[in-house]
Structure formats: C-alpha cells, structure tokens
C-alpha cells in the first residue's frame, strides 16, 4: 500500500456498494495515486481495506501501470503471516480495486513518531525486526525483492503483528538481467543501498538487507543513520560508514547493524543467514503481543498461558476417534508430550531453530516458527495444551503457502528436531500415529 497520510483519516457518513460484493465505508487514507477505504464483505466476514485507483490516472502517468501490475503480481504469489495479503482485484470501466487485508494498527513510522523518544527498547525492536526479516526472507526465496523497505511500508495489525506492504517497486524474476542483477534505481534515498543510489547493477535481496539495517538503526536510535538533503553527500557518508550509535545501543545490536550497513554488497550479511547472529537469536521469546509493547506495556506483564484441555479434547486424541487420517497431511504435523514448562519448551524449540534454520515469531498467542531454505513452507505453528499438570501436549504444524504445489513438508527434518529437543520430549507422534 502507498504510505498514507494519517491526517487524512476521516469518516464517510454513507457507505456504497462495490460490485455487490463489498460495502465501502470510511476513508482510511490517501496516497498520490490511490485512496484506501474500510470495507466489509456483503456476505459477512472480516473487514478489509480497499485500495481504489483511477484507471485514467494510472494509464496516463508514466510508469504507473507497470507499478500496479508489479504490486498485484508480487502480492498474489506471497502468502506469509507478515506480508499484507491481497484477497482479490476488481475493476470497472473507470476504477481498479485492490481488496486487501486490513491492518488497523497503522504504519510503523507513525507508531514510532508517537513514542516520546521515537525509538523502542532493544527487546521490542528485536521482535519487530524478526518479523520483518521473516517476511523479506520469504519474499526473496520466491524471487521477489521489495526495493522500498521503510517504516512507512511496514504496517501493523490489531495485535501488533507486522505486515510488509506496498510492492509497487518490487522486482520479480523476469526483471533480472542475464547476470541475475537489477539496474533500476528506485526506493527512498534514506533507506536505499549505496549501490542503488549510485545506479550500479545490484542484488535486490542485498539491497533489501541494507534497508533493513537502516530500519533497525531507526528502531534502536530514534533517528536515521544517514540523513542529508543532498543525495550525493548522503551516499558518500553511507559508503564511508559515517554514522554513530547512541550509547544505549548494545554491542550485539551494533555488530548486526554494522554487518547490514556494509557498503560492499558482496560482504553484506544476507537476511537468510541472520538466524546465526547472537542479537537476532535472542528474539526467541514468549511475548507475542507486539501491540501492547508498542503502547508501552511492560514485558513482565505478558505471560504465556497454555489453554486447558477438557475431557472431550483428550478423548478425541484417541486413535479410534481421531479423523485426521482422512486428510492428507503430507508429514506436516507432529505432536509430542512433555513435562517441561511452556517456557522451557519454547526456549528449546528456539535453540533447535538456530541449528535447523528457523526463528520464533509471535503470532496472536500462538508461537510461529519461520522456516528458512525450505521451498513451499511459510511457517510452523506451535500450540500447547495442558493435559494433567505437569503434562503438556505440544502440536507442531507446518503452514504451507497457498499455491506452492504438492509435497510440501517432505523435506523438513522432524527427526533432527526431535534429537535436538532431547529430554524435553517424553513421547513423540507423527500425524499417522493418531
């Protein structure tokens, strides 16, 4: 979505129907070429955001039509918890309507601007950054480079979960040159990599990594590392690494930012490898309520609570009554019993993730493990239920991105994970065991 001016928010007294499918409501914001409205499906269901573009304006503005096409093409192939979802595209003779997931929390820049010092404590910045990297690593694995990563294009839902948006400047596989690089200079200068500003051929994923480094610096410091109205001077500062950390930024965070803000893209750290970074690995946390943290809620007030399991739930686990065998799970689900506490279980899952290639990201009270390097897999969800104290049932389920074909989950190392968990696992069951 285009960056929206928060001052433009308003309320329409009347709603109107959109092709008999949605009732358009209040104006949420406007950009240079689009307006975004709150809408509700006529048939019922969750509210959505509808981005409305004028066809004549799109076709009459140089470069605008390809940008809209790129945005639609990119968002259609991306299905990830931290990427804003495009539900459908509608059109009339005069208008184009992009029906998208509603992110009620606004954009990250506005949230930072509302904070007293425009920055976040390290533990909160870490959680946000993990979700950002999870989303972009997923995009890169599917051949999509965002190319305009900045706080204005990072939205938040009602629970504080991140949603990367605005893929209008994204690069798809067919945009690559024969050498696999890109050559279009685009994006926002303060967040763009030096090689992009200098109009050199560049790697889109490495350019996104630089932008993430700028965002992480902003989250921790409260201001940009390179901020100059003269783009040439700003590029020179970036190339010479002329930035200073505030004294409160930790040494591990400084090292990570420095590796991301490496002016040499060949040695700049790749997003997919960040799970090995000490500061990044500390993101394995029980707290998934980012919305509360961003509003100043203390970390100690957010505790993990496993839902109690009733008698019906226990009975339904019986091999004689469970119906999961009727469905093809493709080795996507594992359950195990443990006597360990929820805190220790999640900690051990996170530790195992450092070796097996995933990191933990909060997801509405259910922990989500973002997977790296395994095609077709978006994430793994972890749910815990209390049987009889201290016995817990842990369910691990691979969440597969829509449209990624058959056979997902076959390559995931369940036995390696079981080995890494060690004595946390009391009994281990695949979905075929139930």
Q: Which residues are catalytic?
A: 148
Element (H, E) at 95: strand 95-101
Helix, strand, coil content of the chain in percent (nearest 5): 35, 20, 40
CA angle 46, 52, 54 (to 5 degrees): 165
Instruction: Write the Ramachandran bin of 246: left for phi over 0, alpha for psi from -120 to 50, otherwise beta.
Output: beta
Burial classification of residue 387, based on how many CB atoms lie within 10 Å of its CB (0-12 exposed, 13-18 middle, 19 or more buried) = middle
Among 124, 98, 101, 84, which residue's Cα sits nearest to residue 33? 98
Q: How many CB atoms lie within 10 A of CB 126?
A: 24
The Cα 165–Cα 150 span in angstroms is 10
CA 321 vs CA 308, 310, 337, 434: distances in Å: 20, 16, 19, 9
CA 327 vs CA 2, 321, 431: distances in Å: 41, 14, 10
Q: How many CB atoms lie within 10 A of CB 107?
A: 24
The Cα 255–Cα 69 span in angstroms is 38
Element (H, E) at 414: helix 414-421
Q: Confirm or deny that 14 is annotated as ligand binding.
A: no
Summarize the annotated binding site as residue ranges: 51
Summarize the annotated binding site for ATP as residue ranges: 51
């Amino acid at each position: 979505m285009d960056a929206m001016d928060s001052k433009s928010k308003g309320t329409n007294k009347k709603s109107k129907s959109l092709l008999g499918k949605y009732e358009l409501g209040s104006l949420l914001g406007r950009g240079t070429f689009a307006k975004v409205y709150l809408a509700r499906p006529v048939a019922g269901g969750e509210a959505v955001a509808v981005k409305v573009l004028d066809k004549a304006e799109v076709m009459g503005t140089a470069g605008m039509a390809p940008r809209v096409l790129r945005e639609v093409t990119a968002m259609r192939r991306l299905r990830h918890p931290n990427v804003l979802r495009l539900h459908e595209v509608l059109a009339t003779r005069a208008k184009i309507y992009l029906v998208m997931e509603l992110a009620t929390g606004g954009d990250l820049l506005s949230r930072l601007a509302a904070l007293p010092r425009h920055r976040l404590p390290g533990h909160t910045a870490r959680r946000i950054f993990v979700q950002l990297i999870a989303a972009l690593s997923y995009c890169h694995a599917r051949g999509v480079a965002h190319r305009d990563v900045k706080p204005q294009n990072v939205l938040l839902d009602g629970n504080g979960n991140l949603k990367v948006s605005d893929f209008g400047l994204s690069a798809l596989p067919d945009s690559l040159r024969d050498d696999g690089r890109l050559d279009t200079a685009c994006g926002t200068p303060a967040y763009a990599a030096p090689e992009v500003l200098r109009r050199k051929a560049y790697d889109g994923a490495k350019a996104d990594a630089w932008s993430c480094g700028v965002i992480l610096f902003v989250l921790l410091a409260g201001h940009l590392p390179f901020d100059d109205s003269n783009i040439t001077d700003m590029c020179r500062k970036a190339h010479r690494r002329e930035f200073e950390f505030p004294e409160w930024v930790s040494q591990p965070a400084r090292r990570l930012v420095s590796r991301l803000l490496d002016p040499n893209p060949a040695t700049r750290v790749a997003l997919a490898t960040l799970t090995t970074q000490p500061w990044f690995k500390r993101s394995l946390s029980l707290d998934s309520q980012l919305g509360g943290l961003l509003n100043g809620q203390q970390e100690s007030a957010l505790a993990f609570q496993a839902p109690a399991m009733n008698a019906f739930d226990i009975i339904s686990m019986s091999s004689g009554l469970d119906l999961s065998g009727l469905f093809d799970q493709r080795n996507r689900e594992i359950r195990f019993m443990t006597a360990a506490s929820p805190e220790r279980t999640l900690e051990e899952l996170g530790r195992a993730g450092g070796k097996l290639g995933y990191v933990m990201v909060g997801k509405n009270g259910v922990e989500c493990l973002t997977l790296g390097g395994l095609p077709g897999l978006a994430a793994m969800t972890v749910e815990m239920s209390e049987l009889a104290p201290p016995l817990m049932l842990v369910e691990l389920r691979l969440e597969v991105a829509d449209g990624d074909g058959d056979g997902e989950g076959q390559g995931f190392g369940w036995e390696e994970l079981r080995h890494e968990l060690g004595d946390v696992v009391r009994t281990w069951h695949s979905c075929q065991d139930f």
